[in-house]
Amino acid sequence: MGTGIFASTARFYIHDHLYSPAALTGYSGNVLERYEYDAYGNPTIWNADFTTERDSSNYGNPYLFTGRRTDYLDSGSLKIQYNRNRYYDYYTGRWLTHDPLGITPNAQIPNRFGPISQYRDLISLYQYVGSNPLTEDDPFGLVVTCPGGKWWVTGKMTSIACGPVGLHRARLRWACRKREQIGVDDYYCLGVLQGSVKVYRQPTAWGRSTVVGLAPGLGYTRHDLGGWLSGAPTSADLAGWSLASPGVSGALLFVGGASISGGGSSGSSSAGWGDLGMGFSFTILCLERTTVAADDTPVVTGRVPRQWRQGIAGGVCTKRRRWLSPGTGGWEDVPENEKPDFGHIEDWPEESPPPEQVR
């Protein structure tokens, strides 16, 4: 491997499904330290071969459970974790302060008082990820909410109609129609500042929908769909049972898709365009069940001018990112011409967000 200062000081993490470091390695891949956690994240630090337990990292590593920073208090006897918006206590498995969203008075309209609609853990404002720490994480100390409850919906649906019954199954992605500014990208070309582009986090969820209904006809179609959904202030509100809108699915080679409505009390409007189809059906009455497999707040940016992108590619421009203090950026509507691209539906993992998300 390489030599020099970088080779002697570089450190790399090996993490688990919650982004918690399981091992710290050197430049050559040799394990330096290992980390274990109980269900609620209380860490134990070991040497490379699990023979010696340590009070703290010998290599100054502060990042432990879910990849967040651990602070040591009372001469190292008390460990608490900083998740940007509030502190988490390993020993009690609870937050030390309540979730600021919906509780702390603020001039921003999305931060109004509304705990019942904004919290998946309902009345417990200190509960950590609904008491499900083995599979869930909360890297920002916030729940995944969509101010205003309006989402874009895109997906791929398969429809089968035979006689009086139709079955429609879809893989869906929901992207909130609002986004919160968390930083700024400054673009410099030949050392001169050309301008800046805002950096946002945007609530997003992935899941599935199954619609069963009275659908006179005979046919099989596969088509993409797109539309909007309202009335879901959190990603959890996307899931549930509902009556779906009627629609038409059919024609040869080109299909118009059946509408779907989303879960709970949410309602949506959607249209489809096809890549494969044969037959025709008209859906009269539908019952829909929607599930949410995963959600997150990926980092997205506003529109970057072409000349800046070309300058970056050509090596004459550089980008420097500046982060804002939590809560200072505010929520903005996403312009119609700046819909975020989270990858093709076919590329999404079955039960997890796309790999290009930023933690």
pLDDT of residue 307: 93
- Which two three-digit tokens encode residue 322? 């500046």
Cα angle 247, 250, 256 (rounded to 5 degrees) comes to: 60
CB 121 within 8 Å of CB 144 = no
Partnered with residue 151 across adjacent β-strands are: 176, 229
Domain match, 327 and 182 both: yes
User: For every one of its 359 residues, what pLDDT tens digit does the chain have, with 9 covering 90 and above?
Assistant: 445 555 567 899 999 888 899 999 998 889 999 999 999 999 999 999 999 999 889 999 999 999 999 998 888 788 999 987 789 999 999 988 876 655 544 433 344 444 444 444 444 667 787 677 876 677 766 657 788 888 988 888 887 877 778 788 888 889 999 988 888 999 999 989 999 999 888 888 888 888 887 766 677 777 777 788 888 877 877 887 777 666 655 444 444 444 555 565 566 666 666 655 555 566 666 788 888 877 777 888 888 999 999 999 999 999 998 888 656 778 889 987 766 554 444 444 444 333 333 33
Domain match, 171 and 284 both: yes
171, 215, 259, 271, 289 from 247: Cα distances, Å: 18, 9, 5, 9, 17
Cα-trace Rg, the chain? 24
Q: Give 303's contacts (C-beta < 8 A, 6+ positions apart).
A: 197, 337, 338
Q: Give 355's contacts (C-beta < 8 A, 6+ positions apart).
A: 349
Q: State how far the Cα of 60 lies from the Cα of 132, in Å rounded to an integer.
A: 29
Nearest CA among 219, 217, 206 for reference residue 254: 219
Residue 315 parent element (H or E): none
- Which two three-digit tokens encode residue 43? 């860490």
Nearest CA among 129, 142, 125, 119 for reference residue 40: 129
Domain match, 195 and 270 both: yes
pLDDT of residue 145: 77
pLDDT of residue 169: 87
Phi, psi dihedrals of residue 8, rounded to the nearest 5°: -85, -20
CB 288 within 8 Å of CB 260 = yes
Domain match, 240 and 353 both: yes
Note the pLDDT tens digit of each residue in 26-58.
988 899 999 999 999 999 999 999 999 998 899
Is the dihedral angle over the CA atoms 101, 107, 109, 113 positive or is it negative?
positive
Q: Give 343's contacts (C-beta < 8 A, 6+ positions apart).
A: 354, 356
What is the residue range of 37's domain?
A: 1-143
Domain match, 201 and 110 both: no
- CB atoms near residue 333 (< 10 Å): 11
Q: Of 126, 143, 160, which closes a domain? A: 143
Relative to beta strand 240-244, strand 204-230 is unpaired
Domain match, 74 and 165 both: no
Domain match, 51 and 108 both: yes
CB 145 within 8 Å of CB 101 = yes
Domain match, 298 and 210 both: yes
Domain total in the chain: 2
Domain match, 172 and 260 both: yes
Q: Of 124, 143, 162, which closes a domain? A: 143
Nearest CA among 70, 141, 78, 95 for reference residue 327: 141
Q: Of 143, 173, 204, which closes a domain? A: 143
Domain match, 236 and 313 both: yes
Domain match, 159 and 134 both: no
Domain match, 243 and 315 both: yes
